[in-house]
């Protein structure tokens, strides 16, 4: 078995931190994955269990189908793999073909949450929705000899530029590069 992190990094251009919730109670098994950096959560409506913290690898935000005008459900399959004496939980997200997943979650699973929940090989359908909370890091910069101020939010692939008014105290000021967390209501804001 090869290193699953390296395999996923080579296959998907984007990666953010995420947490998975594996739940099993008698006759009901369920899953929830939160990716706060991109403001999304996947659920099939269970909110109890163990949350391995890991990473969500994905191709494109539009693949998640969370926007109202393009809302669509997703299928998932839960797997575990061993590598270098460690156990990893992996969740493949796909629309039609499991072998062509648009995203995968991976986390070290030292407590065997997947096994203990009886969810190895489990699959079902659910939906991605906007996570009610979220923050990202933004970089703001401005040169002292120019008026444009630029803010880049790499995680959600957004960039904004505006001009400082000449009468403003910012007009002849250099901001340099400043990184800070910002909150947003929607990723297209």
Q: Which domains does the chain have, with CATH numbers?
A: 4-130 (2.40.128.480), 135-183 (no CATH)
Helix then strand then coil, % of the chain, to nearest 5: 15, 50, 35
- The Cβ of residue 30 has, within 10 Å, a number of other Cβ atoms equal to 21
Whether the predicted pLDDT of 178 surpasses 60: no
Torsion of CA 29, 34, 35, 37, to 10 degrees: 180
Q: What is the pLDDT of residues 115-147, one digit of tens each?
A: 888 899 999 999 998 776 656 677 777 777 777
Distance (Å, whole) CA 77 – CA 124: 7
Whether the predicted pLDDT of 188 surpasses 80: no
pLDDT at 152: 83
pLDDT at 56: 95
pTM of the model: 0.58
Q: Are 53 and 19 in contact (CB under 8 A)?
A: yes
């Amino acid at each position: 078995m090869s290193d699953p992190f390296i395999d996923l990094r080579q296959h998907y251009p984007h990666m953010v931190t995420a947490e998975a919730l594996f739940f099993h109670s008698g006759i009901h098994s369920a899953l929830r994955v939160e990716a706060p950096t991109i403001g999304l959560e996947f659920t099939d409506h269970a909110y109890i269990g163990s949350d391995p913290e890991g990473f969500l690898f994905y191709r494109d935000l539009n693949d998640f189908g969370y926007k109202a005008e393009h809302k669509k459900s997703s299928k998932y399959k839960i797997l575990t793999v061993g590598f270098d004496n460690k156990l990893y939980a992996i969740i493949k997200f796909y629309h039609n073909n499991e072998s062509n997943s648009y995203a995968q979650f991976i986390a070290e699973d030292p407590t065997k949450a997947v096994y203990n929940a009886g969810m190895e090989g489990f699959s079902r359908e659910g939906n991605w929705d906007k996570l009610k909370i979220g923050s990202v890091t933004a970089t703001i910069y401005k040169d002292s000899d120019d008026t444009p101020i630029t803010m880049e939010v790499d995680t959600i692939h957004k960039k904004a530029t505006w001009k400082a008014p000449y009468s403003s105290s910012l007009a002849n000021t250099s901001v340099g590069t400043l990184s800070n967390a910002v909150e947003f209501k929607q990723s297209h804001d």
